[in-house]
Structures are given as C-alpha cells and as structure tokens.
Amino acid sequence: MEVAIAHPDQLIHVRTVLGVVMGLSVARLLTGLARLIQHPGRVRLYPTHLIWAAFLFLGVVYFWWFEFGLQHVAQWSFELYFFLIFYAALFFLQCTLLFPDHMEEYSGFEAYFHSRQKWFYGLLAALAIVDVMDTLWKGIEHFHAIGHWYMLRQGVMVLAALAAMFIAGRRFHFVFAVCSVAGLLCWILLRYQYLR
C-alpha cells in the first residue's frame, strides 16, 4: 500500500518557520558567546553555564538534523504544526535564559544562572518530555525502533532536571551539564549520525 506524501510546498513552509525559530536560538547562543569574546573581562564566566550553552547548541543542531524526517509526514495538521513550533520555541526560551539582554545586576554568570536555575531546568525537563511526545507522534513503530535506551535517557534527563531545580550544590550542576553533553553526543553518534 502506498503512502501519500504531502505536497512539497507544505514541508517547505513548515521548515521555513522552524528554521526561523531555530535560527533565532543559534543566533542567541552565538551572539552571547561572541559578547564573551568581545568583552572578556566584563562578566565573570561560569564553566557550568558554558557547558549548558554547548549542550543547547548541539541540541538545536540535532533538532534541525532529525527534523529532516518531516519529509515522511503524509498529511500535515494544525496540531502537528503548532506542536513543532512549540518544541522549537522551548529551545529558543532556553537559549535566551542562558544569555540575557542585561547582566548588570549580577556579579557574573554563576550568580545569574543559579538565580534562574528553576526556569532553566524546568524548561530542560519540558524539552525532554516534548521530545518523547515528538517521537510518539512519529508512530509507535518508530518509538519502538529507537529502543529502550531512549526512554531511559529521557527519564533520567527529566528526573535530573527536576532535581536540579532545587539542588544548590555547584558540583552537581557541573556534573549534570557534562553528562548531558556526553550523553547527547553519544546518542547522536550511535543513532543519528546518518540520515535514513
């Protein structure tokens, strides 16, 4: 049985809107990092913050990469369209939390990051949950095909993010950030290195 493929213009429209939102995310991250290079002594750096910036950059690129699979959507609905824009918007919100417009009232990125840690980690948990919803939207066969490690990874991310909202220990936040980057890199290289 043949599956009808949506008109290519629909996919171009969806990719354009997603590209704008994800482009804003990348622009926010790169602008924030460029400001650190332009004015190295203006704000004190915080390694955990920089690692989370790397995680989000990798996450945005990964999102764009696996959304090539949207070409297999047979019929677009407003719900799917809205959901994908919402998903992309979560990335943008996290990127803006990492690099705010003004830092004058903070002694550096450490003080700023931890003043917003509940928001940051709440959005991180939301991203992990929305990713599961996105995976389920692609079909139960797809969900089962990516294996049990996926749900384990997502579950650990949600629980760790929810815990991180309330943990003050700086070492925990650093280790969580490092493990998140390492986990995402391994996942990409093992599961999504090549388009299928």
Domain boundaries along the sequence of the chain = 8-191
Structure tokens at 142: 């797809």
pLDDT given at position 1: 41
Q: Shortest CA distance to 187 belongs to which of 129, 147, 160, 158? A: 147
Q: Are 154 and 128 in contact (CB under 8 A)?
A: yes
| Segment 119-130 mean pLDDT | 98
| Segment 128-135 mean pLDDT | 94
What percent of the chain is predicted at pLDDT more than 90?
64
163 or 66, higher pLDDT: 163
- Residue 7 pLDDT class (50, 70, 90 cuts): low
pLDDT given at position 14: 83
The string over 66-93, giving b where at least 16 C-beta atoms fall within 10 Å of a residue's C-beta and e elsewhere, is bbeebeebeebeeeeeeebeebbebbbe
pLDDT given at position 8: 65
Structure tokens at 174: 């650093």
State the DSSP code for 104. Answer: T
pLDDT given at position 179: 98
Which residue type is seen at 110?
E
- Residue 159 pLDDT class (50, 70, 90 cuts): very high
